[in-house]
Amino acid sequence: MRGGGIGERLARARRARMMTQGRLAETAGVSPTTVSGIESGRILRPHFGTVRKLAGALEVAPEELLLSGDGAQRPGAPLSLAWAREAHEEEFDRELEVASDEQLDTLARELEEERGRLQRLFAEFPPGEERRLIKRRIRTLSAHSGSVSAQVHSNEVRAGGSGRSSEEPSGA
């Protein structure tokens, strides 16, 4: 089933975590046929226990796999990790500029946790295409983390909270 069904949401979440269907099945404790069946649309209404296992293996809430993306903001809510993965650079920067300090801190923490998870995953794979994809994702997350840090610093300077801007030399 195309167009935002559970299979598409499962596949999107699995790919975002850089997992194969087999690895997801093994981690979740379900059969690879089940994962393939859900993603392909052969299994349209999986048992909630299966969805819960898959969500746990993907480190997402079961609702993210079950709820339709039509109008739902949860998976792509601004300043969430899922949103950061999908946002274009201009949108990402625009949202950072209007974000609260608390939102920036939360996003920075999520990005750092994801970067650490991907670094551990990178170490598990032998050299090859999957490792290159993981490395590319790590670079993207690092760039996002740098943008968040720059915005936090900019907010501090504007608020007069950094204490460094007028005392340190500006040329490096």
State residue 4's pLDDT score: 61
State residue 156's pLDDT score: 87
Distance CA 48, CA 20 (A): 21
State residue 161's pLDDT score: 58
State residue 68's pLDDT score: 59
State residue 75's pLDDT score: 39
State residue 134's pLDDT score: 83
State residue 67's pLDDT score: 73
Q: Let me know: does 51 contact 7? Beta carbons within 8 Å.
A: no
Over its length of 172 residues, how does the chain's per-residue pLDDT go in tens digits?
A: 334 689 998 998 998 888 999 999 999 999 999 999 999 999 988 998 999 999 999 988 888 887 754 433 333 456 777 778 777 788 888 888 888 888 888 888 888 988 888 888 888 888 887 788 888 888 888 888 888 888 888 888 888 754 444 444 444 4
The reported pTM is: 0.53
In CATH, the number for domain 6-66 is 1.10.260.40
Distance CA 81, CA 110 (A): 6
- Closest C-alpha among 78, 70, 84 to residue 113: 84
